[in-house]
Chains A and B, each alone.
Chain A
Amino acid sequence: MSIVADIKAILIGMWTTWKHIFRRPVTIQYPEVKRIPSPRYRARIVLTRDPDGGERCVACYLCSAACPVDCISMQSAEMENGRRYASWFRINFSRCIYCGLCAEACPTMAIQMTPDYEICNRDIMNLVYEKENLLIDGCGKSPDYNFYRHAGIGVAQPRGAGREETPPVDVRSLMP
């Protein structure tokens, strides 16, 4: 009879909810307990340094061009030894969507994502980070990459003495 089946269905439902009362809730009690995100979690952006201590960012504008919401802006400048750097570098974290396209586009592994997600602020203007807020003293996720050791221009070493380069041939040694 359908009535018996219906009453049984209601009672089974009530038994299920009764069991759930005594289970441990699945809530994580933030902020007393925090989840640890994985190391590749994309949150706050940082600008990293070389293993040799110099800034990696060469202000090539590739991250700014890759950004889908145009939240990165910078101005390039050049030192006397020919090394490019950013005279100012600004990321607007209220616009940033934390997609990681800028980190993928960077040729020098300068701009990187960290798993630090607790950057909320009461004043929205405090979410516009300048270069001094973004630059860190470490190497980030790539501890032994120095762009200028692989590049052909003579900044960290003379031309021809880079990592993947062979030194120029002495043409007089080719003579018969």
Chain B
Amino acid sequence: MNYDPTDIALALGKIAVVLAVVMTLAAYLVLIERKLLGRIQDRYGPNRVGPFGLLQPLADAIKLLTKEDFRLPGADKWLFYLAPAMASIPAIMIFAVIPFGPPTTLFGRQVEMQVVDLNVGLLLFIAFSSIAVYGVALGGWASNSKFALLGSIRGLAQLISYEIPMGLSLVPVVMLARSFQLSEIVTAQEGCWFIVYQPLAFVIFFISIIAECKRTPFDLPEAEGELVAGFHTEYSGMRFGLFFVGEYVNLIVLGGLAATFFLGGWHGPWLPPVIWFLIKVMASACVFIWIRGTMPRLRYDQLMHFGWKVLTPLALVNILATGWFLMLKG
């Protein structure tokens, strides 16, 4: 068990780089969303703070940090403090297993372009997204408020019911790549992206991750304008900021996973692989924002009906069809 100091330094370096990039990208994704949503609605997004509004995330961070920190009287203190962390930390941690480039040679050794190359990376991702559900549930419960509780109950039910089609739509991917390891799934897409072989699985996965991110049309848990602010009603200042940033990190991470499983990961013609990966992630994020600007919100029973009675059977039929096809091909 002797670790080379270079190995440790490389690991810490990767963690630092990934954390910095993801947090900055999440902050600027908030700005991109506001501007893109503004353009869809025939108006400019924020453009006062810096040139083209580029310092807006900084202004938002300063504003959130200087707000009053509520201590709710009836709230469960530790759960109240823990909930934002539980909602956002698992989202950031999923990024540990996503490969954003082919293994390169640095300092004379092979370095994989992911923080950790687990051989069950896919299961880790599903496990982490289940932990993030706790943040929603605890946030609403610990707030000791009616609307927050309603929002968190709906959020809880929505998140666990959309994890099922999400997991099921990934089973054909595993069948095609013959491995749970994310880097092997990406290298298996060298010839042809899996979206060509599994368009239905891609659609099911995409819809499920929109529901997992609690975005429109599945954003009833945080329903701005219906449940006040849903499960994060009673949060202010940086706690709300943590929920908010966690949601956008979730967006980036799940976009990255969509790119990894179906869009060929970091494969691409003549640009460096990391750039291709970023392009695919940002393209997924922009499609999420585009859908948010287009569609109205689904009612809660419509949401549950869609998840259980439409997506899950479709995913199961897809698995059957893929298995049958693979067996026929030999």
Partner of B294, one of A13, A25, A27, A29: A13
Query: Would you call A14 an interface residue if the criterion is a C-beta within 8 Å of the partner chain's C-beta atoms?
Result: yes
Query: Would you call B21 an interface residue if the criterion is a C-beta within 8 Å of the partner chain's C-beta atoms?
Result: no
- Residues in B10-61 with C-beta less than 8 Å from chain A: 36, 38-44
Residues of B within 8 A of A10 (CB): 294-295
The main secondary structure of chain A at its interface with chain B is helix
Query: Would you call A2 an interface residue if the criterion is a C-beta within 8 Å of the partner chain's C-beta atoms?
Result: no
Q: Are A14 and B294 interface neighbours, CB within 8 A?
A: yes
Mask of A19-32 contacts with B, CB within 8 angstroms, 1/0 = 01101011101000
Q: Are B44 and A17 interface neighbours, CB within 8 A?
A: no
Residues of B within 8 A of A29 (CB): 44
Q: Smallest CB-CB separation from A3: which chain B residue?
A: B310
Known: A10-B295, A13-B295, A21-B36. A26 touches B42 (CB 8 A): yes
Q: Are B36 and A25 interface neighbours, CB within 8 A?
A: no
CA distance A13 to B290 in the complex (A): 10
Mask of B265-293 contacts with A, CB within 8 angstroms, 1/0 = 00000000000000000000000001101
Known: A10-B295, A13-B295. A25 touches B290 (CB 8 A): no
What is the minimal beta-carbon distance from B245 to any residue of chain A, in angstroms? 25
The interface centre, meaning the residue of B40, B42, B294, B295 with most chain A CB atoms within 10 A of its CB, is: B294
CA distance A29 to B46 in the complex (A): 11
Residues of B within 8 A of A23 (CB): 42
Q: Smallest CB-CB separation from B36: which chain A residue?
A: A21
Q: Are B40 and A17 interface neighbours, CB within 8 A?
A: yes
Residues of A within 8 A of B43 (CB): 25-27
What is the minimal beta-carbon distance from A15 to any residue of chain B, in angstroms? 9
CA distance A16 to B44 in the complex (A): 18
Q: Are B44 and A25 interface neighbours, CB within 8 A?
A: yes
Q: Are A14 and B291 interface neighbours, CB within 8 A?
A: yes
The interface centre, meaning the residue of A13, A17, A26, A29 with most chain B CB atoms within 10 A of its CB, is: A17
CA distance A48 to B290 in the complex (A): 56
Q: Smallest CB-CB separation from A16: which chain B residue?
A: B294
Which range contains the number of B residues in contact with the other chain?
Answer: 10 to 19
Mask of A21-52 contacts with B, CB within 8 angstroms, 1/0 = 10101110100000000000000000000000
Residues of A within 8 A of B41 (CB): 20
What is the minimal beta-carbon distance from A148 to any residue of chain B, in angstroms? 52
Residues of B within 8 A of A17 (CB): 40, 290, 293-294
Q: Smallest CB-CB separation from A7: which chain B residue?
A: B203
Partner of B40, one of A20, A26, A27: A20
Q: Are B39 and A20 interface neighbours, CB within 8 A?
A: yes
CA distance A120 to B39 in the complex (A): 30
The interface centre, meaning the residue of B36, B42, B291 with most chain A CB atoms within 10 A of its CB, is: B42
Residues of A within 8 A of B291 (CB): 14
Q: Are B42 and A25 interface neighbours, CB within 8 A?
A: yes
What is the minimal beta-carbon distance from A174 to any residue of chain B, in angstroms? 79
CA distance A106 to B275 in the complex (A): 72
Residues of B within 8 A of A16 (CB): 294
Q: Are B42 and A14 interface neighbours, CB within 8 A?
A: no
Q: Are B42 and A20 interface neighbours, CB within 8 A?
A: yes
What is the minimal beta-carbon distance from B106 to any residue of chain A, in angstroms? 40
The interface centre, meaning the residue of A10, A16, A21, A23 with most chain B CB atoms within 10 A of its CB, is: A21
Q: Smallest CB-CB separation from A14: which chain B residue?
A: B294
What is the minimal beta-carbon distance from B121 to any residue of chain A, in angstroms? 32
What is the minimal beta-carbon distance from A26 to any residue of chain B, in angstroms? 5
Q: Are A25 and B295 interface neighbours, CB within 8 A?
A: no
CA distance A26 to B40 in the complex (A): 12
Residues of A within 8 A of B44 (CB): 25, 27, 29
CA distance A100 to B62 in the complex (A): 44
CA distance A130 to B294 in the complex (A): 53
User: Which A residues contact B (CB, under 8 angstroms)?
Assistant: 10, 13-14, 16-18, 20-21, 23, 25-27, 29
Since A10-B294, A21-B40, A27-B44 are in contact, a sample of 15 more A-B pairs with Cβ atoms closer than 8 Å, ordered by chain A residue number, is: A13-B294, A13-B295, A16-B294, A17-B40, A17-B293, A17-B294, A18-B290, A20-B40, A20-B42, A23-B42, A25-B38, A25-B39, A25-B44, A26-B42, A27-B43
User: Which B residues contact A (CB, under 8 angstroms)?
Assistant: 36, 38-44, 290-291, 293-295
A-B pairs, top 9 by smallest CB distance, nearest first, are A17-B294, A13-B294, A21-B39, A17-B40, A27-B43, A25-B43, A14-B294, A17-B293, A26-B42
- Could you jot down 9 A-B contacts, CB within 8 Å? A10-B294, A10-B295, A16-B294, A17-B290, A17-B294, A20-B40, A21-B36, A25-B38, A25-B44
